[in-house]
Structure 1
């Protein structure tokens, strides 16, 4: 029991530090992300911070990976709540919905972290590239025309980037129309495989990753 309590306490402290780091980045920028600033924001000793994150790069890597994990959790939730389960395009609909529903806080943190893209730790770049490859494989196995599916993905990614960096934003009515059109396209595109094969290729593989 004592070991379990210690483990939970360390996990809670680690999460508290990450939340503090995210707050520092969003309020003051990545350049303000120092170990001292995060320790002060999290109200922990610098030694306590170093126990979990030995340097600034470790904080940045974990912040970025947490963004990916949160997005994946949202994507899987949307996948399971799809209004046409077991049909081609289900993964892409989940991707569209989870992307357009990303919180303002996550968008702001992404934009801030992107400002150091050239100097981004290689471990985080590798995680991002691996996740993008995983998404590409899912897209290819989603049962609809892969070219049209890629166009839909790029369109929703474009909306996401425009909101993250606050540029060329459509009004809310037009935004809703764009998202609904993309979702409609996932239902109307020609299926490249039958439903049974789609389930084997996509749904089961997604569940195995849990």
Structure 2
């Protein structure tokens, strides 16, 4: 039920551009208010749940990519959210309150995930500073997408080749 509720909340967030109220999620998910509140007692819990879901999706993609030796270009590709992902990230960014203790735990999880993903990139490129630069470029791509300030689309093949080398550009791994 938890995943069903999160999927409904995610769809509503993408459609409306804001994290929905608990009542809106109840209606969209077709669950009882008590059932929803068992998993997400507050809107903050729902926001944290949506953010964790995104972290877990990225973690799974990065873990798979690292196993293929494709972590760096995958990180750059994941850093270019499509329109629906951008809508979700924008809504989460607007709704997020770092002063909330529940959000502080999420921030710790995000820091840990970023460090893990950077290590995956480092194992692939063989250099800690280069891995940091690649991770930070990805962070900048995401930030620009959320803010809507990217002046022109980035050619990920060229970017990957510049940062990683031609052999590691997206779409060039088996």
Please report the TM-score for the alignment, with normalisation by the length of structure 1: 0.65
- Between Structure 1 and Structure 2, whose CA radius of gyration is higher? 1
Structure 1 residue 80, shift from structure 2 partner: 4.3
Asked if 1:104 is matched to 2:93, the reply is: no
* Partner residue in 2 for 1:21: 9
Asked if 1:157 is matched to 2:136, the reply is: no
Q: Is the contact made by 1:61 and 1:123 (CA closer than 8 Å) also made in structure 2? A: no
Please report the TM-score for the alignment, with normalisation by the length of structure 2: 0.76
Distance, in Å, in 2 between the alignment partners of 1:135 and 1:157 is 12
Say what the alpha-carbon RMSD is for the aligned residues. 2.6
Aligned residues: 162
* Partner residue in 2 for 1:186: 164
- Inter-CA distance 142–164: structure 2 relative to 1 (3 Å threshold): same
Which of 45, 56, 69 is the aligned partner of 2:56? 69
Distance, in Å, in 2 between the alignment partners of 1:132 and 1:48 is 33
Q: Is the contact made by 1:75 and 1:98 (CA closer than 8 Å) also made in structure 2? A: no
Q: Is the contact made by 1:25 and 1:112 (CA closer than 8 Å) also made in structure 2? A: yes
Which has the larger displacement, 35-44 or 18-27?
18-27
* Partner residue in 2 for 1:94: 74
Distance, in Å, in 2 between the alignment partners of 1:127 and 1:93 is 23
